[in-house]
A and B are shown apart, each in its own frame.
Chain A
Amino acid sequence: MTLDPDVLRRLLRARDRMDAAPHEEWPVHRLARVSGVSHAYFARSFKQAFGVPPHRYLLTRRIERATALLRDTELSITDIAFGTGWNSVGTFGRTFHDVVGENPSELRARARAEAHQLADVPACYTAAALRPDLTIAVSEKRRRMANGNDRSTTGGSHEPRRRNGRSLRARPR
C-alpha cells in the first residue's frame, strides 16, 4: 500500500493532535476523524506512515511528558500519572519502568543530579529527541524481559545500553 502525500499530510494532523494533548484519550475513531479517513484505513496507514501504531505513539508521548515533569517540576508522581493520561498510578509506574528502564522516582533523582545542559535547545526539540523509541509493544518487551532475552531499554536513560542480538533498536544519539 503506497500512501499518497495528501493522505500522509492528513495523518500528520492526527499525530499533531496527539502531540498537543497526549493526556487525552485518542481512540482510533477520533484520530480517523481528524484525518478524514475510515477507522480501519487509519489504523493501517498510521503505522505504515510513522512506523508505530497510534496507541504506541501516544504512549511514547505520555512517557516523554511524564519524564519532563519528573525532571523539571515538583509535582507528585501521582499528579504526574493522572496528568499525563493514566488512570492508575500502578499502571503508570509499571509501564514507565518497562519503557524507560527505571522507576519514575529513580529517574527523578538521577535527572536532578545531572547538570542541565539543554537550556539553549528549544524544549520541544529536546523532548522529541529524548522520546523513547518504542519499536515493539510494551507487552512484547515485558515478555522478552521475563525470558531474560532483553536487557536493553528503549531510551530515556543515559546509562550505556547493554545489547544483545535480539535487543531493541535504540535511536543513535
Chain B
Amino acid sequence: MSQGVEMVGLYVRDQDEAVTFYVEKLGFKIHTDVKNGTYRWLTVQHPDQPSFQLGLFVPEQPMIDAAGAKALRELLAKGAMPPLVMAVDDCRAAYDRMKARGVEFTQEPTERYGNVDASFRDPSGNGWKLMQSARKK
C-alpha cells in the first residue's frame, strides 16, 4: 500500500515518559526521534504495522500559543482526548502481559457481543481500548 494514513499524532505531557511507556510497556519501536532546537519529532510504530506511525507530541509553544498549550495539557490530563483503539488477537493475554508491566488499566477484559475489550490509559491520560474482535477470526 502506497497511499493512506501514515502518521497520527497524540498529545502527551512528556515525550521521554511517553516513549518509555509506548516502547517498554506496549512493545512499540521508535521510528523517528529527531530534535531541532527544543522541538522533538518523535514517532513510534507498532511492530506488526510498519506502514503506520504514532506521533508523540507535547502541546507547546511556538506551535501553539501559551494559553492553548495550557488548555491542551489540562484536557489531556482530564482524559478528554479522542478514543484510541488497538487491535489484539487475545485481549486477556495482552491484558495480563501489559498489567504485569505496570500499565494502568481502567477496565478489565469484558466480553460484549463476542468481542473482548479492555481499557487502559497512557501516563498522560490518553484512553486506549484493547479490542479483540470476533469478526476477524
Choice from B83, B113, B124, B129 contacting A9 with Cβ under 8 Å: B124
Stretch at the interface among A91-99, A120-128, A132-140: A120-128
Q: Which residues of A contact B (CB under 8 A)?
A: 3, 5-6, 8-9, 11-13, 15-16, 19-20, 49-50, 119, 122-125
B82: shortest Cβ distance to chain A, in Å?
A: 10
Contacts between chains A and B (CB distance < 8 A), count: 47
By the criterion CB–CB under 8 Å, are A12 and B77 in contact?
yes
Pick the contact of B79 from A3, A15, A119, A124 — CB < 8 Å?
A15
A-B residue pairs in contact (CB < 8 Å), sample of 28: A3-B74, A5-B13, A5-B73, A5-B77, A6-B77, A8-B77, A8-B78, A8-B125, A9-B13, A9-B124, A9-B125, A12-B78, A12-B125, A13-B104, A15-B79, A16-B79, A16-B106, A16-B121, A19-B106, A20-B106, A20-B107, A119-B113, A122-B117, A122-B129, A122-B131, A123-B117, A124-B117, A124-B119
Instruction: Name the interface size band of chain B.
Output: 20 to 34
Q: Which of B73, B83, B107, B112 contacts A19 (CB 8 A)?
A: B107
Q: How far is the CB of B117 from chain A (nearest CB, A)?
A: 7
Measured CB to CB, the residues of B under 8 A from A are 13, 73-74, 76-79, 83, 85, 104, 106-108, 112-113, 117, 119, 121, 124-125, 129, 131
* Nearest-neighbor residue (CB-CB) of B85 within chain A: A122
CA distance A29 to B131 in the complex (A): 34
Whether A123 contacts B78 by the Cβ 8 Å rule is no
Q: Which residues from chain B contact A122 at a C-beta distance below 8 Å? A: 83, 85, 117, 129, 131
- Chain B residues in 8 Å Cβ range of A16: 79, 106, 121
- By a CB distance below 8 angstroms, the chain B residues around A13 are 104
CA distance A11 to B121 in the complex (A): 13
B74 near A5 with CB under 8 A, answer yes
Q: Which residue of B lies closest to A51 (CB)?
A: B78
- Residues of B contacting A15 in the complex (Cβ-Cβ under 8 angstroms): 79
Q: Chain A nearest CB: distance from B74 CB in Å?
A: 6
Give the contacting residue for B78; candidates A50, A124, A125; CB below 8 A: A50
Complex alpha-carbon distance, A67 and B131, angstroms: 23
Given A5-B13, A20-B106, A119-B113, A124–B129 Cβ distance below 8 Å?
A: yes
**Residues in A whose Cβ lies below 8 Å from that of B131:** 122
- Which 8 pairs between the two chains have the least Cβ-Cβ distance? A8-B77, A5-B77, A16-B106, A9-B77, A12-B79, A5-B73, A123-B112, A8-B78
| Distance A123 CA – B114 CA, assembled complex (angstroms) | 12
Task: Quote the shortest CB–CB distance from B72 to chain A (angstroms).
Answer: 10
The residue from B73, B83, B106 contacting A125, defined by CB atoms under 8 A apart: B83
